[in-house]
Amino acid sequence: MTVLVTGGAGYIGSHMVWALLDAGEEVVVVDRLSTGFEWAVAPEARLIRADIADTETVADIIRSHGVQAIIHFAGSISVPESMVDPLGYYQNNTANSLALIQTAVATGVKKFVFSSTAAVYGSPEGDQPVAETTPTVPQSPYGASKLMTETMLADAAAAHDFRYAALRYFNVSGADPLGRTGQSTRGAANLIKVATEAAMGKRDGIEIFGADYPTRDGTCVRDFIHVTDLVAAHLDALSYLKVGGASLIANCGYGRGYTVREVLDSVRRISGRDFDIRLGGRREGDIVTSVADSTRARTVLDWQPRHDDIDEIVGSALAWEESLARRNRI
* 186 in any annotated domain: no
How many domains would you assign to the chain?
Answer: 2
* 113 in any annotated domain: yes
C-alpha–C-alpha distance, residues 2 and 230, integer Å: 20
pLDDT at 197: 96
Q: Are residues 317 and 242 in the same domain?
A: no
pLDDT at 186: 82
Phi-psi category of residue 47: left, alpha or beta, with phi > 0 → left and psi -120 to 50 → alpha: beta
SS3 content of the chain, % helix, strand, coil (to 5): 40, 20, 40
CATH, residue 132: 3.40.50.720
Q: Are residues 199 and 246 in the same domain?
A: no
pLDDT at 209: 96
Least reliable range by pLDDT among 20-29, 187-196, 301-310: 187-196
The 10s digit of each residue's pLDDT in 94-139 is 999 999 999 999 999 999 999 999 999 998 876 689 999 999 999 9
Phi/psi for 188 (5° steps) reads -55, 145
Q: Are residues 248 and 273 in the same domain?
A: no
pLDDT at 124: 82
Share above pLDDT 70 across residues of the chain, in percent, rounded to a whole number: 98
pLDDT at 60: 98
pLDDT score of 241 more than 70: yes
* 178 in any annotated domain: no
Mean pLDDT of the chain: 95
Q: Are residues 71 and 133 in the same domain?
A: yes
- Amino acid letter, 208: I
C-alpha–C-alpha distance, residues 287 and 300, integer Å: 28
Domain boundaries, position 304: 191-221+255-323
pLDDT score of 329 more than 90: no
Is the pTM here over 0.75, yes or no? yes
pLDDT score of 153 more than 60: yes
Q: Are residues 106 and 37 in the same domain?
A: yes
Q: Are residues 229 and 217 in the same domain?
A: no
- For 279, the 3-state DSSP assignment is strand
C-alpha–C-alpha distance, residues 52 and 13, integer Å: 14
Residue range 1-22: average pLDDT? Answer: 97
* 45 in any annotated domain: yes
- Nearest CA among 152, 154, 149 for reference residue 138: 149
Q: Are residues 114 and 96 in the same domain?
A: yes
The 10s digit of each residue's pLDDT in 254-278 is 999 999 999 999 999 999 999 999 9
Q: Are residues 285 and 232 in the same domain?
A: no
Annotated catalytic sites, by residue? Answer: 142
Q: Are residues 163 and 265 in the same domain?
A: no
